[in-house]
Every structure is written in C-alpha cells, then in structure tokens.
C-alpha cells in the first residue's frame, strides 16, 4: 500500500486533536499510523465468506427490567428534603449558564 500518511495528514490530525507535536513525534506518528493502516489491509486479505456477521463478539441480551413503581407516591416525604417547596414542587435557587 502506498503510504498515504504524510506531513499534511499528521498536521491536520494534530489540529483536530489539539496537539502540538515535535518533529520527532510527527515522524513517529506517521510510522505508527502507517503500520496501523498496513495491519488493516492485512486483515482485509482474510477470507471471511464463511463467517456469520455479528454486531458483538459476545452474545448480548436485553438487561432492562420492567418499569414498575416500587416506592409509591410519597410526595410529602420527598418534599421534606427540598430546599424549598411551593404548590407541591421543589423550589431551588436559580442557576445561570
């Protein structure tokens, strides 16, 4: 595979990642990324025609439970912990963004 990782690519990735790389680090990053792409190309050579597609390596099952109320409606108990209360609702200091 022709080496598509050049100085311009490394510079662009550095900008996206907000990294300041020295010249030595840029050269090492080019080598590392080139090796990664070579490895991906090597994986592409594998015959996967007999492999069944999957979305996860391990079997996945739904772990959600039914949404069942177990503690009932204890508004008065809950509002005892509120910093303030008005018309059955919490009153808290206003926050600014």
pLDDT in tens, 23-45: 999 999 999 999 999 999 998 89
All structural domains of the chain, each given as residue ranges with its CATH number in brackets, are: 7-44 (1.10.20)
How far apart CA 92 and CA 69 sit, in angstroms, is 26
* pLDDT tens-digit map of 43-92: 889 998 898 888 777 877 887 888 888 877 788 888 888 888 899 888 88
Report residue 36 as tokens. Answer: 């990664």
Helices (H), 4-89: 7-16, 23-44, 75-79
* pLDDT tens-digit map of 4-19: 889 999 999 999 999 9
pTM (predicted TM-score) = 0.48
């Amino acid at each position: 595979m022709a080496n598509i990782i050049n100085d311009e690519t490394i510079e662009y990735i550095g900008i996206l990642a907000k990294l300041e790389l020295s010249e030595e680090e840029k050269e090492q990053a080019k080598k590392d990324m080139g090796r990664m792409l070579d490895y991906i190309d090597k994986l592409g050579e594998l015959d996967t025609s007999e492999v069944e597609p999957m979305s996860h390596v391990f079997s996945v099952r739904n772990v959600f439970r039914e949404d069942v109320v177990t503690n009932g409606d204890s508004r008065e108990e809950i509002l005892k912990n509120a910093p303030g209360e008005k018309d059955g609702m919490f009153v808290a200091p206003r926050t600014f963004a």
